[in-house]
Structure formats: C-alpha cells, structure tokens
Amino acid sequence: MITGKFPSLRLRRTRKYVWSRKLVQENNLSANDLIYPIFLIEGKNKKQTIKSMPNIYRYTLDKLGEVVNNVVKNNIPMVALFPSTPNSKKDKYGSEALNEDNLVCRATQYIKKRFKNNVGIMCDVALDPYTSHGHDGLLKNNYVINDETNQILIKQSLLQAEMGCDVIAPSDMMDGRIGKIRKALDKNKFHDVQLLSYAVKYASNFYGPFRDAVGSKKSLKSDKKNYQMDFSNKNESLREVALDIKEGADMVMIKPGMPYLDIIKTVKDNFKIPVLAYQVSGEYSMIKQSINNNLINEDSIIESLMCFKRAGASAIVSYFALDIAKKL
C-alpha cells in the first residue's frame, strides 16, 4: 500500500503546519452530523438536574422552546425526545404511550408549531418510559412478548406521526415491527414520515444514566437480554439490519456507540445505508466525569465524536451535541 520508503518518504511532512493538516484531514465533524436528545418532564418552569448526567436536564414544556431555539441557532438538524413519565401514569401495558396528551405528543406539537420545519423531530417508539416494569414491551411470565407488543408500537407510531413527528425511531428490538409500522404509516398516508430503526441495539451496561433520566431504572427488575442483542455478537447485527432494510427502514441506528465502532463500520461497508450512532448516556457520563475531575481535557469530546465519523456514521445522537455545535 505504501509506495516509498524512508528517508525520501516522510509522513510527518504533512503534519508540521495547521494549514497542511487541514488539507489532508480525512474526516470532518460539523453540526450537521449531530442530533440532540431532550428529556421531558411534567410541570411548569422546571429545569431539573439529572445526577448521573452532569449538565443534562429534564425540561418542562414551557422551557422547551429555549432549548430547541439553541439547537436551531447552532445548526443542529434534529432533536430526539424522551419523556420522564410520572409513576402515576405508568401501568403494565404502557398505556400512556397511546395518550395523545402525553409529554412527547405535546412537545412534538409545540416544536412543530413554533419551529415549523427548521428542525427535525425524532420520537422514540418503545414502551419502557411508560411501563410500571420498565421493559420495552408487554411482559408475560417475565418475558417480553413480541407480536402483542408490535400492535401497541404500531399505534404509538401512528399517534406520533399524527402529532407531527418527522422521524419515527423504534428502539424496542421486537422482531418484525419495522415492516408493520411502515405498512401502517403508508396506509394512513404518512408516506413522508421517516423510519429510523434501532436495528442493532445491544443489551449493554452503558444505559444506566438514561434509565435514571426517564425514570425506569428503579422499576426494572430484570435485564433485557431476551430482546436486545448479545454484545458478543457481530454477524447477528448484519442479519438484523438486512431484515429492517427489507421491511422499510430509511436509516439504522447502532447503540451504544464507542464500544461498537466495528459494528458501525461493518454495517456501513455492507449496506451503504445511512447509519446513525448513539453515544449513549454511560459514554457521556464517563467522559464528562473524567473532564470534571481533570483526568482528560475537553478536546476528548471532539475526539470521541470524530471516531464515529471515521467508522462511517452518517450522524450521531449525543448529549454533547449542543455544546460542541457551538464550537464547530
């Protein structure tokens, strides 16, 4: 591959000056690559801290406009909405997911009315923020049942589309849900609503702070290994992505991010489809806590995001998105 040898070939030559390094830089990161997740809570005039996620907050809807306005000002193309549902509204069926007055529905309507199409809205399709047991689907004998869950996810997706959601993002990992949701969206004339499949979502240990943020951690009494992927597996990810593309996914998500760069590259190389990476809450908190304790510096954030681009990611969901976009 290298056509030359030292000393006539010196690879350090192009590294000497800033202008030269810029010319030969192979990957670039811009605000266009970022998606900003926002946590929602009921109430008024609240910006609620999340202890396990420094500098990340839960917002009431009257505070949402300020956050989204900053997103738009800093040229981030899309926000992702996640609700912290009050325990009083949770049940074993996740019924609140189908309530047209729930947090996500109201937030979607508000953003769409105020910001029109100046920012995209991504809505999570799964039941874990709404169930009393904290699982992504219906639970029977401590097992998440697939087909019955899909029926609820279809209704949840249609409701979100009706409220104005631009990108429906099923993160539940049920078999067959992408095809059923796409068919339902098309049947109801939501042809232009995009479908982002969390096609490759591992049963990871990096989700803890997120579960704090949406309030499902305390209610979750068992793991999610009977529907999320085994982190030992790579080839299985290709099967998952192939099925979801065939069923109508416009884009696919790899989650978590940094521990799975090999999966991002493999999926991108094999399918040439838009591949999104989720730099999950555990990744965020580890980096942020290390910065706060002077173990690493803030430049590590850019480095962590650039690795996704290098692996082939088209976009990155990151809690760092807003802070970093201001610097790009």
Which of these, 185, 69, 60, 58, lies nearest to 116 by C-alpha position? 69
Site of tokens 């951690």: 217
Provide the annotated active-site residues. 201, 255
Region of residue 116 (phi > 0: left; psi between -120 and 50: alpha; otherwise: beta): left
CA distance readout (Å), 229 to 200, 223, 237: 7, 12, 8
Q: Distance between CA atoms of 162 and 156, rounded to whole angstroms?
A: 10
Chain position carrying tokens 């409701």: 159
Residue 163 CA neighbour count, 13 Å, CB half: 27
- What does the DSSP assignment read for 53-90? STT-EEE-HHHHHHHHHHHHHTT--EEEEEE---GGG-
Classify 170 as helix, strand or coil.
strand
Question: Please, is 249 exposed, middle or buried when counting C-beta atoms within 10 Å of its C-beta (0-12, 13-18, 19+)?
Answer: buried
38 neighbors 67 (Cβ within 8 angstroms)? yes
Say if residues 14 and 24 touch (Cβ distance below 8 Å).
yes
Torsion angle, CA of 72/86/284/217, rounded to 10 degrees? -160
Q: Residue 220: is it exposed, middle or buried by C-beta count within 10 angstroms (0-12/13-18/19+)?
A: middle
